[in-house]
Amino acid sequence: MGGPTSVITFLGIIIDTDKRELHLPTEKLQRLIDEVQLRLKKRSCTHRELESLIGALQHVCEVIVPGRSFLRRAIALLSVARKKHHPIHLNEVRDDLAWWSVFAAQWNGASLVANEESPQLIATVIWGRQWRGSRVQAHSATIARL
């Protein structure tokens, strides 16, 4: 056992106190992306398989914060199957899974503490065909000086 460290892995998430951030180990991130890409290649999966994927994705949302927005439809899709072994067609969540496949690695890392000296930015990623031509309005109580 070594001395004090500023980097520790806890529940599969790396906590770096020097950088004040959380991130996933490379191997875990790659397994997650591989699982998502596997689901993208299939037309359907069982209730149990979708539940397992959602659980893995929810866990990493502590690190890949924008990911929460891309889980809602998958969670709603769980109500379609009456039994755990019944197939669920993945058409409704294909765009969300594509987001995870493309952006999970780029968004791997969450700040533990907001830097009060820098402006807080709100980023919205709109993904999928249903958003084309739509207007999005965002409100914030925080005022940033540039």
Q: What does pTM read for this prediction?
A: 0.70
126 pLDDT above the threshold of 90: no
Nearest 5°: CA angle at 69, between 15 and 132?
A: 135
Tell me the average pLDDT of the chain: 79
pLDDT for res 89: 92
Residues 6+ apart with CB under 8 A from 81: 46, 47, 87, 88
The token pair that represents 23 in the structure block: 């991130």
Q: Following CA atoms 10, 14, 19, 21 in sequence, which dihedral angle do they give, to the nearest 10 degrees?
A: -80
33 pLDDT above the threshold of 80: yes
132 pLDDT above the threshold of 80: no
138 pLDDT above the threshold of 60: no
145 pLDDT above the threshold of 50: no
Per residue in 62-118, pLDDT (tens digit) is: 888 888 889 999 999 988 877 888 889 999 999 999 999 988 888 887 766 555 444
In three-state secondary structure terms, 15 is: strand
Ranking 27-31, 98-102, 124-128 by mean pLDDT, the lowest is 124-128
pLDDT for res 20: 85
pLDDT-above-90 percentage for the chain: 36
Ranking 13-17, 59-63, 141-145 by mean pLDDT, the lowest is 141-145
